[in-house]
C-alpha cells in the first residue's frame, strides 16, 4: 500500500450536507462554498412511471421509499461517494414534522448505514453565515414563510412565526392573473409558473402597489413568454401583482411584514432593536427583484400603526446580504458548521441503534431538566429503558 493511501484511510473524510427542501434539494460537502448539486426534490418512480416528489406521501412506508430513492440519486449519481464512509449534516426547519425526521434517520442509519448524523436547524445556520450574534431570519420556502429570531446562537422558540406565504402563494396568484388576462383557464404546471415568475415578475414599491390597486397608474410593459410547449403574453399587471399575496393584510394580520413584527414583539425587549437592524431574507423567493425594498417599506409603515406602535419602539430596519445565493444560505451554514464541528455533535449509529429516538425541542423528554418532578411521574407511569 502506498503511503498516501494509508494517510487517506486514517484521515476523517468530509461530511456531506443535506438540505432536503420541498421543491429543491441541496447536497454537497462540508467546508465548500456552494453545494455540489441543486436538483428538484423528486425521483423517477418505476412503479408509477412518473417523477414523484419526495414530500408526496400518504404514510410512513411511502415516505421511507421516497427518501431511499432520493438519497440513492444524490449519493450515487451526483456526488459519487460511499454513504458508509461519511457523516451527514441534515439542514432542517424547526417546524419539520417528527415523522419526517424519524423516517429520515431510519433511512440514513439503517438503510445507508452512515456513521453519524448531525441535525441543525436552518435559522441558526443562516445566522452562522453572517457572524452576527443576533439575527432575524426570514425564510421564504416553497409553501411557508418562517420568521425565526436567533439571539446569541439560540432560536427564540416562543416567537417563531409561520404563514403559508411561500412560492406556492405567488404561483397561485400568477396563475389567476394569467387566466384573467387570457379569458380562459390555462392550467399551467408549476414548472412553467416558476419559469414565468423568475423571468418576468418583480415586486413594486409600496406607493406603486397602492396606485395599481386603485387603478390610478398604468401597468408595466407586457413581456412575451415563449417555450416549446407554451407561448403567451404576460401582462404588466401580472408581472407586478404576482407577489402581492405576501403583503396583503386581513383581519388576522397574517401578511409577511406582520409576521416579522410579531416575531420581534415576542422576543426579549433588549434584543428587539438589534433584531430589526439584522434582518436576513433567505429562500428562493427572496431573489425576486424588489422584494427586500418592499418589505422594508411595509415594515417602516406598519410600525407606526397599532398594535405595533405601542408595543415596539423600533424605527430602523436593516437587511443583510447573505454570503451565498439566497436559496443556499442555510446549506452554506451547514457546511460551515460541519467543518468547524468535525462531527463531534453527530448522533452515532450505535447510539441510534440502542435507542431510536431523536432529540427534539417539542418533546418534554429532551427539554425538561432531570431534577424536575415530571421525571418521577413519568417513571411511575412508564419506566424508561
CATH number of the domain within which 45 lies? 3.30.420.40
Cell numbers found for residue 191: 414548472
- Which pLDDT value is given to residue 5? 44
The closest alpha carbon to 91, from 344, 327, 288, belongs to 327
- How much is the pLDDT for 4? 43
Residue 303: give the domain boundaries: 130-164+255-323
pLDDT at 243: 94
Strands 42-45 and 50-53: antiparallel
Give the whole-angstrom CA distance, residue 11 versus residue 299.
50
Same domain, 261 and 308: yes
Cα–Cα distance list, 130 to 133, 151, 279, 334 (Å): 9, 13, 10, 13
Which of 275, 304, 323 is the C-terminal boundary of a domain? Answer: 323
Give me Rg for the CA atoms of the chain.
23
* Residue 94: all three cell numbers together: 424547526
Asked if residue 135 and residue 70 are part of one domain, the reply reads no
Do 17 and 66 belong to one domain?
Answer: yes
Q: Which three cell numbers stand for residue 133?
A: 450574534
- Is 259 found in the same domain as 134? yes
**Statement to judge: residues 14 and 103 lie in one domain:** yes
Task: Among 323, 350, 369, identify where a domain stops.
Answer: 323
Give the pLDDT score at 379: 63
Q: Grid coordinates in use for 290?
A: 424588489
CA distances from 122 to 1, 85, 154, 329 (A): 42, 25, 12, 9
Residues 230, 303 within the same domain: no
Number of Cβ within 10 Å of residue 360's Cβ equals 15
The angle, 0 to 180 degrees and rounded to 10, between the axes of the packed helices 60-73 and 98-106 is 50
pLDDT at position 307 is 87
Q: What is the pLDDT of residue 313?
A: 85
Q: How far apart are CA 114 and CA 16, in angstroms?
A: 11
C-beta of residue 43 within 8 angstroms of C-beta of residue 59: no
282 & 333 share domain: no
Are 188 and 57 members of one domain?
Answer: no
pLDDT for residue 117: 94
Same domain, 49 and 93: yes
Please report, for the domain that includes residue 189, its CATH number: 3.90.640
End residue of a domain, out of 195, 216, 246 = 246
The pLDDT assigned to 228 comes to 57
Q: Are residues 160 and 175 in the same domain?
A: no
Residue 252, pLDDT score: 81
Residue with cell 401578511: 255
Residue ranges for the chain with pLDDT beneath 70: 1-12, 228-229, 343, 364-366, 378-385
Q: Are residues 296 and 341 both part of a single domain?
A: no
DSSP state of 15: P
Q: Say which residue the cell 415594515 belongs to.
A: 299
Strand ranges in the chain using DSSP code E only, listed in sequence order:
16-20, 24-29, 37-40, 42-45, 50-53, 88-92, 116-121, 134-140, 145-151, 154-155, 161-163, 223-226, 231-234, 279-282, 347-348
* pTM for the model: 0.89
First and final CA of the chain: distance in angstroms? 46
The reported pLDDT for the residue numbered 11 is 57
Q: What is the pLDDT of residue 110?
A: 93
Amino acid at each position: 500500500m502506498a503511503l498516501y493511501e494509508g494517510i487517506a484511510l486514517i484521515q476523517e473524510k468530509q461530511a456531506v450536507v443535506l438540505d432536503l427542501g420541498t421543491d429543491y434539494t441541496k447536497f454537497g460537502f462540508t467546508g465548500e462554498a456552494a453545494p455540489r448539486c441543486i436538483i428538484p426534490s423528486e425521483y423517477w418512480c418505476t412503479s408509477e412511471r412518473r417523477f414523484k416528489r419526495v414530500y408526496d406521501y400518504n404514510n410512513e412506508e411511502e415516505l421511507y421509499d421516497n427518501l431511499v430513492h432520493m438519497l440513492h440519486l444524490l449519493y450515487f449519481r451526483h456526488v459519487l461517494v460511499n454513504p458508509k464512509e461519511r457523516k451527514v449534516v441534515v439542514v432542517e426547519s424547526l417546524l419539520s414534522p417528527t415523522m419526517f425526521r424519524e423516517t429520515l434517520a431510519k433511512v440514513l442509519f439503517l438503510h445507508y448505514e452512515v456513521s453519524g448524523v448531525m441535525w441543525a436547524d436552518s435559522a441558526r445556520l443562516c445566522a452562522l453565515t453572517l457572524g452576527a450574534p443576533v439575527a432575524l431570519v426570514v425564510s421564504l420556502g416553497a409553501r411557508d414563510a418562517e420568521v425565526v429570531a436567533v439571539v446569541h446562537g439560540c432560536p427564540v422558540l416562543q416567537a417563531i412565526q409561520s404563514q403559508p406565504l411561500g412560492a406556492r402563494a405567488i404561483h397561485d396568484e400568477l396563475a389567476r392573473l394569467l387566466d384573467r388576462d387570457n379569458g380562459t383557464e390555462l392550467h399551467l404546471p408549476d414548472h412553467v409558473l416558476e419559469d414565468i415568475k423568475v423571468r418576468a415578475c418583480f415586486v413594486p414599491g409600496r406607493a406603486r402597489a397602492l396606485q395599481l390597486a386603485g387603478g390610478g397608474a398604468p401597468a408595466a410593459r407586457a413581456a412575451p413568454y415563449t417555450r416549446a410547449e407554451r407561448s403567451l403574453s404576460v401582462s404588466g399587471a401580472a408581472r407586478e401583482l404576482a407577489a402581492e399575496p405576501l403583503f396583503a393584510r386581513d383581519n388576522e394580520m397574517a401578511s409577511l411584514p406582520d409576521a416579522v413584527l410579531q416575531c420581534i414583539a415576542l422576543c426579549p425587549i433588549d434584543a428587539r432593536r438589534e433584531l430589526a437592524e439584522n434582518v436576513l431574507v433567505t429562500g428562493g423567493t427572496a431573489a425576486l427583484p424588489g422584494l427586500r425594498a418592499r418589505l422594508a417599506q411595509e415594515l417602516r409603515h406598519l410600525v407606526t400603526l397599532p398594535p405595533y406602535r405601542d408595543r415596539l419602539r423600533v424605527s430602523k430596519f436593516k437587511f443583510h446580504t447573505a454570503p451565498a445565493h439566497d436559496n443556499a444560505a442555510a446549506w452554506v451554514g451547514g457546511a460551515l458548521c460541519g467543518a468547524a464541528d468535525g462531527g463531534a455533535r453527530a448522533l452515532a449509529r450505535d447510539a441510534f441503534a440502542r435507542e431510536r429516538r431523536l432529540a427534539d425541542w417539542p418533546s418534554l423528554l429532551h427539554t425538561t431538566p432531570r431534577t424536575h418532578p415530571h421525571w418521577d411521574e413519568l417513571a411511575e407511569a412508564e419506566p424508561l429503558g
